[in-house]
Amino acid sequence: MHIVEVPRTDRPALGIALMVLAMFLLSIMDAISKHLTDTLAVPQILAIRFWVFLIFALALASSNGLGRTIRSATPGLQLLRSLIMLGQMSAFIFAVSYLPLADVGAIFAVAPLLVMVLAAIFLGEKIGPRRAAAVAFGFIGVLIIIRPSTGVFDPISLIALGGASCWACFQILLRLVGRRDSVQTTTLFSAMVGCAAFSMVAPFVWRTPDPITWAWLLVLGSLGAIGHYLLSTAFRHAPASTLQPFAYTMPLWAVVIGWFVFHDIPDRWTFIGGGLVIASGLYALRRERVATQA
């Protein structure tokens, strides 16, 4: 059977808007996950999240027909992408259960830098010297936020760093599968693999949630489903190298949420580093537009 490549649109402004919104929703989801780790084990949290995600994915798939949606042109890449996503989620939630949300978010800010490099290597996306300089300054901003000498890089931080690497690989694979598969197919694969994997582990660590905790779990699953759908859609409208500067908004959302929800007040260096990261991202976007118009 010949599978026609899924049509794509070149609408970078829409892709950026979807990326920023996805980062905001996923940051709220991360804060809820941190709250839930006080009473529930990580596999149980993720299992329930993916059950809700699967309901959303099946409803989304019904618009095109379940049989048609479940057929992927890249099943191997879809499976690999989903498994890497599970590793990223597990590492992140485990890390935030021990570290402040802002610290883990700062470590995860390394991921967009890795994506830009991986996009150049595997997707053939060109990054000029000025955009490379912007990436370097963005990395300096990340170092200012993290400040390794303050003890951020303890063993739990290494788990977070591993999760950031998984996140970068996940986004590259998301871009690759998006060339052949629809957003509905990608969403359904994520839900099925995640639900199957964590449902096998959850019974061994299960604690019956109370009604309020169930409500938080339902909100968690809904935010995760919507956030990843928006993320998948964003990559259909703009190149990975264009979107990645705006993935830097996620650690900044983490700082804000950690401040207001968990009372983790960031210092001036966090604001300085965050400002440098955002400025670098905006400059990289400007260079992308200049290159496109040339």
| pLDDT tens string 200-227 | 999 999 999 999 999 999 999 899 888 8
Instruction: Report which residue type is found at 103.
Output: D
For residues 280 and 238, what is the distance between their CA atoms, to the nearest angstrom? 18
**Tokens standing for 45?**
């949290």
Q: Can you list the positions of beta strands (E) in the chain?
A: none
For residues 103 and 107, what is the distance between their CA atoms, to the nearest angstrom? 6
pLDDT for residue 262: 85
For residues 187 and 229, what is the distance between their CA atoms, to the nearest angstrom? 7
Q: What is the pLDDT of residues 102-142, one digit of tens each?
A: 878 877 777 777 777 787 887 777 777 887 887 788 778 77
pLDDT for residue 2: 30
For residues 197 and 264, what is the distance between their CA atoms, to the nearest angstrom? 33
pTM score of the predicted model: 0.78
DSSP code for 123 = S
pLDDT tens for the chain, residues 1 to 294? 233 334 456 788 888 899 999 999 989 998 999 999 999 999 999 999 999 989 988 988 887 788 888 888 889 999 999 999 999 999 999 999 988 888 788 777 777 777 777 878 877 777 778 878 877 887 787 777 766 655 555 677 778 888 988 988 998 898 888 888 888 888 899 899 999 999 999 999 999 999 999 999 999 989 988 887 888 788 788 877 678 778 778 877 888 888 888 887 777 777 787 778 777 777 776 776 676 665
**Tokens standing for 212?**
């309020």
